[in-house]
Amino acid sequence: MATITKSGSQISLKSSDYAVICCDSQDTVISWDVQAEHLFSWKHSEALGKKIFDLILPPASELNGTLQFQKLFKQYRKETSVTLKINENAADKDGKVFPAEFVVSPLPGGDFFTIFIRNIEKYQEQIEAEASKTFKLEVINTILKISLEPTLLKERLSKILEYVLSIDELDLLEKAALFLVEQDTKKLALTVQHGLNREEREQCGKVPFGHCYCGKAALSNKLRFVSSKSARHPDQRAVQSPHGHYCVPISTHGIVTGVICLYTPENHQQSKQNEEILGAAAHVIAAIIDHQKMDLQLVNLVNDLRASILALREEKSFSESVIQGLEHGLIVTDSQGNIQKCNDVAKIILSPFTSQLEGHNLSYIIGHSNARKVLTEPTGVIGKEENEITLSPENGEEIILRYSSVKRSDSKGGDEGTIVSLTDVSEWRYVRKEMEKMNRLSTVAEIASAVAHEVRNPLAGIKIMAQSIEEGSGTEEERIECSQRIIRQVDRLNELLTDFFSYARPVVPKKQECSLESILAEIKPLIVNKLMKQRIELVESFADDLPPVIADPNQVQQVFLNLFLNAIDAIKQEGEIEVVARSVSPQKLAQYRKTNHLLRKGTKYISVEFTDNGAGMPPEAAEKVFEPFYTTKTNGSGLGMSIVYRTLKENDAAISVQSTEGKGTTFHMFFKSV
């Protein structure tokens, strides 16, 4: 159908786009330019004298035989200047049809006409492309508006699906389904549908990847169009009426999150425009789903953050309760020594110096030297006397504080300050001194009683012998025997007093580096005869590269000799004495310190074990073995093991005992090493 418009003004033309032809009042060509030759393939000589419409219109055009320029312009003859524009299909010499624009302008007098003709095929394509682009933008904008509605995701997806079905240009049936991927099962789950019957909803409830057309589209992540002729479902279920499908995957960053299945009528023509619009809709829906996931993640993060904040508050409240419930004072300082936090016990302990701790520098309260000692020499251990400071408040009563300090560090290992634990041991120290005094008095009384008991028996014997000599009774041999008995009792008293003085006034040790193997080598000649006579085997086990110990070698030799003699007495006949020496690892030291308070953390020790398989001791005897004047021997003074314990302590060493009656005894010693 031709479209004819008129204009009363001059139309701007580009000569390069138009062919220019002149005709007379009979529509006969009188001029045919080069552009007309290119456009219609008729040469100038062929066109002259011919009817213009026979040269430029297709044979089947409805304008053939009806259109004449003279008649066309008669209705506008009263107007001085009229230009007509006609849009109609044109045809070249070979019969090729193309859309064309005709601009007809009469020359003065109305007997001649100038016709401008151009091929508008590309122009129409541009217009159609712009119209398609505008249409697609309208569709996307409408979907975006729906996506921004403050409703649930399922409601928004349902509205979007209904809107897509309502677009006439897409030529769709009122039937569609939208599936979302279940991450756990990797199946398409029917989420929104429109127009599906009950059977279809049940059969399409879960669709595995690769199954059916929707599953194949999800697996390939490519849009699939299935015409009505080939739309036979893989499971061979009955199809109610002929229809086709658009199966459009919904994906984000190449990951399929769902599929849109749209039903098309019979003989539906697949078009690029439809696929572009459906693809754009799927991209918008993918963005909606992705945004929904991000919203859920954000909500979860907010909930987690809220839970973390609540947990931190509870932990802070719990920590503060624990800190306030401690029996000792706790002070937290920054790296400059400024007090940031403290508990009530710390405030009470330091109340003679200030009423407010927080905000003050620790040196302001306890003095620079004490603060430097507490803050720069972290101990991590409380209960050692060297970790004590003495403060003198204005009232003159000294306060003795035992402290433990631990450094605080940030995530990068930087200095954050110090945590200081304080305990007021002033009263405890006074009580301990009184207890030590009472213990010393008690010990003196016990020792005096034991000495009196040990001395009384020899004195009684001496008295009887002396009386017998004084009375002059008996023979000369009997008097000589009495004199010898008196001498033996005096020797026994002398030995007793020697042991007593060794215990009461031990010799100050001359500590030096010495080898345990060398000390043992010097002792063996002293006991070898007894070992051989009583058939006792000596087993030595010294670790390789055993370092020297720091002690008085003579005193250590005396200790070892005493332990050997006790082991020989316990074995009596046919047995074994084993001596084992090895270095103590930090882990082992931590275990030993739990049962031996004399061992110091961070000190290197050598462990020496004397083990015999003799008679052993009952538990009550093992507990008292190091007490003075305690003995299980009939002729012992009870000071031997007490002297061993005292000697080792003077040498910064320690000893413990483990014994099982009938199986044997192990004496475990620890010596400081270099």
Mean pLDDT of 207-218: 90
pLDDT score at 383:
43
Helix (H) or strand (E) holding 235: none
Inform me whether the pLDDT recorded for 318 exceeds 90: no
What is the CATH T-level fold of the domain 139-296, as seen in this structure?
Beta-Lactamase (3.30.450)
| Dihedral angle sign, alpha carbons of residues 327, 333, 337, 343 | negative
pLDDT score at 23:
92
* Strand, coil or helix: 142: helix
pLDDT score at 636:
59
Helix (H) or strand (E) holding 540: strand 536-542
Decide if 605 contacts 585 (C-beta within 8 A). Answer: no
What's phi and psi for 196, nearest 5 deg? -80, 140
Mean pLDDT of 121-137: 84
What is the CATH number that goes with domain 3-119? 3.30.450.20
Query: 241 in the Ramachandran plot: left (φ > 0), alpha (ψ -120 to 50) or beta?
Result: beta
Domain regions of the chain by residue span = 3-119, 139-296, 326-418, 431-504, 512-672
Inform me whether the pLDDT recorded for 571 exceeds 50: yes
CATH 1.10.287.130 applies to domain 431-504: yes
pLDDT score at 316:
83
Mean pLDDT of 178-204: 89
- With cut-offs at 50, 70 and 90, classify the pLDDT of residue 238: very low
Q: For helices 553-571 and 516-533, give the axis angle rounded to 10 degrees.
A: 30
Q: Which of 21-35, 95-109, 395-409 has the lowest mean pLDDT?
A: 395-409
pLDDT score at 4:
45
pLDDT score at 473:
64
| Token output for 109 | 């007098």
What is the Cα–Cα distance from 429 to 400, expressed in whole angstroms? 8
* Strand, coil or helix: 4: strand
Nearby residues of 432 by Cβ (< 8 Å), 6 or more positions away: none
What is the Cα–Cα distance from 501 to 428, expressed in whole angstroms? 32
- Helices (DSSP H) in 572-633: which residue ranges? 586-593, 619-624
> What digits encode the pLDDT tens for the residues 346-371?
888 888 888 888 888 988 888 888 88
Inform me whether the pLDDT recorded for 233 exceeds 70: no
What is the Cα–Cα distance from 467 to 473, expressed in whole angstroms? 9
Mean pLDDT of 602-608: 90
- What's the CATH superfamily of 326-418? PAS domain (3.30.450.20)
pLDDT score at 438:
62
pLDDT score at 111:
81
Sheet of 415-424: strands edge to edge?
A: 339-342, 329-333, 415-424, 399-409, 388-391
pLDDT score at 326:
79
Q: If you average pLDDT over each of 122-136, 269-283, 659-673, which comes out highest?
A: 659-673
Inform me whether the pLDDT recorded for 1 exceeds 50: no
Q: Of 605, 601, 560, whose CA–CA distance to 583 is shortest?
A: 605
- With cut-offs at 50, 70 and 90, classify the pLDDT of residue 540: very high
Inform me whether the pLDDT recorded for 34 exceeds 60: yes
pLDDT score at 539:
92
Tokens 């009375």 sit at which residue?
Answer: 471
More confident residue, 385 or 625: 625
Separation in Å, CA 343 to CA 329, 402, 419, 569: 6, 16, 12, 59
Same fold yes or no, 139-296 and 326-418: yes
Q: How many CB atoms lie within 10 A of CB 365?
A: 18
Decide if 214 contacts 247 (C-beta within 8 A). Answer: yes
Decide if 122 contacts 99 (C-beta within 8 A). Answer: no
pLDDT score at 381:
46
Inform me whether the pLDDT recorded for 81 exceeds 80: no
- With cut-offs at 50, 70 and 90, classify the pLDDT of residue 127: confident
- Helices (DSSP H) in 239-339: which residue ranges? 272-325
Query: Could you tell me which residues are beta bridge partners of residue 85?
Result: 5, 103
pTM to 2 decimal places: 0.44
Inform me whether the pLDDT recorded for 80 exceeds 50: no
More confident residue, 476 or 209: 209
Inform me whether the pLDDT recorded for 15 exceeds 60: no
pLDDT score at 506:
59
* Strand, coil or helix: 342: strand
> What digits encode the pLDDT tens for the residues 628-660?
766 766 565 667 788 888 888 889 999 999 999
Mean pLDDT of the chain: 82
Q: What type of residue sits at position 254?
A: G
More confident residue, 369 or 427: 369
What is the Cα–Cα distance from 659 to 613, expressed in whole angstroms? 10
> What digits encode the pLDDT tens for the residues 489-533?
777 777 666 656 555 555 688 899 999 999 999 888 888 888 999
Decide if 49 contacts 28 (C-beta within 8 A). Answer: yes
- What's the CATH superfamily of 512-672? Histidine kinase-like ATPase, C-terminal domain (3.30.565.10)
What's phi and psi for 538, nearest 5 deg? -105, 125
| Dihedral angle sign, alpha carbons of residues 530, 535, 536, 537 | positive
Decide if 341 contacts 358 (C-beta within 8 A). Answer: yes
Inform me whether the pLDDT recorded for 615 exceeds 70: yes
Q: Which long-range contacts (CB under 8 A, 24 or more apart) does 200-203 make?
A: 203/235, 203/237
More confident residue, 537 or 396: 537
Tokens 């012992």 sit at which residue?
Answer: 636
Helix (H) or strand (E) holding 270: none
Mean pLDDT of 176-192: 89
